Amino acid sequence: MQISDVFAAYADEMDQIEAYLDQHISSDIKLIPEVAHHLIDSGGKRFRPLLHLICARLCGFTGELRFPLAASIEFIHTASLLHDDVIDEAVIRRGKTSANIAWGNAASVLVGDFLYSKSFTLLSIIGDLDIFRLMSKMTNTMSEGEVFQLMKCGDTNLTEAEYLSIVEKKTAVLISAACESAAVLGCLPKEKIRALGQYGYKIGMAFQITDDTLDYMAREEDFGKAIGKDLEEGKMTLPLIYTLDRCSQTERNMIKNTIQNKSFSSETIRKIFTLVQKSGGIDYSLNRAEKFIKESINDLEVFNDSPAKDHLRAVAEYVLSRKQ
């Protein structure tokens, strides 16, 4: 089953989420919808809302509340991207000029804040205290992850455990909440709520590890962002962490000096990319992602077989096979 087949199975419900997004981006302050639509309409796959809808169907929940909740999740994700691009001084996002370049840092930060607050307005419509606790804890953890990554930016001694902690806080907790919240809406037993949370967490870990690994192997036109940008921003991701542990002292010094002194050139970036490929950093990282994916599929065993369960398996397989 292809990911396109999964999206097709939820097309009508995804249209309703789009309507919620469009409705709640509206504002008398014209700059707000202009900046927000620039990113929201720029080709994002709505991966997190899709997972929420699949999990809701798996749990037998067909109520209207899944739509504002899915929209809230997408707003949180979009807000985090707007803030990330300011911090990273990004130029490209999803193949387009990033909002911080088009409108400036202040507008990007403030519209991101608007979307965060709007997400909690949508949560108030749902009125479920357990959902509110889950989403509040998740957004707080995401903020911690952003600060931790900022602290560690350019730290060439970053460990694999620290890297995985950043991935967990910045990416995995939101995808976990997208899945777990559907089980809460469905009033499932704690065992199944926990299982869907773990499925989403592991999908999120694999998603980000794969994303970071693609930066060392994808073509820019496929990827939607500048290749090598993570390296230039001083982000120590798993392929590079693995390489630093296994290359020669001379090579290690070259990589560390390049990052610490920000002395990037086309030649040095090519050298580092070659070292990452030779060291096995790409294979190691993809294998780590694959392990998370296998574990995520095992988490679904507490559920009976169904088309929705097959859809979640297909999403898991897509995470490993994607090019962007």
What does pTM read for this prediction? 0.93
Between 78 and 90, whose confidence is greater?
78
Please give the pLDDT value at position 226. 54
Task: Tell me what percent of the residues of the chain surpass a pLDDT of 90.
Answer: 81
Nearest CA among 186, 213, 200 for reference residue 315 = 200
**Among 183-187, 302-306, 317-321, which stretch is predicted with the lowest mean pLDDT?**
317-321
Q: CATH number of the domain that 21 lies in?
A: 1.10.600.10
Please give the pLDDT value at position 200. 98
Report how many domains make up the chain: 1
pLDDT band of 90, cuts 50, 70, 90: confident
Tokens read off for 105: 């840092």
Tokens read off for 245: 């542990």
* Residue range 270-281, pLDDT digits in tens: 899 999 999 999
Distance CA 294, CA 279 (A): 25
Write out the residue range of the structural domain in which residue 227 sits.
3-321
Please give the pLDDT value at position 225. 47
Half-sphere exposure of 60 (CA within 13 A, CB side): 7
* Residue range 13-45, pLDDT digits in tens: 999 999 999 999 999 999 999 999 999 888 778
Q: What is the 3-state secondary structure (H, E, C) of 16-51?
A: HHHHHHHHHHCCCCCHHHHHHHHHHCCCCCCHHHHH
Between 234 and 202, whose confidence is greater?
202
Nearest CA among 268, 264, 260 for reference residue 236 = 260
Please give the pLDDT value at position 323. 55
Task: Tell me what percent of the residues of the chain surpass a pLDDT of 70.
Answer: 96
Please give the pLDDT value at position 261. 86
When pLDDT is averaged across residues 130-159 and rounded to a whole number, the result is 94
* Residue range 181-213, pLDDT digits in tens: 999 999 999 999 999 999 999 999 999 999 999
When pLDDT is averaged across residues 68-75 and rounded to a whole number, the result is 96
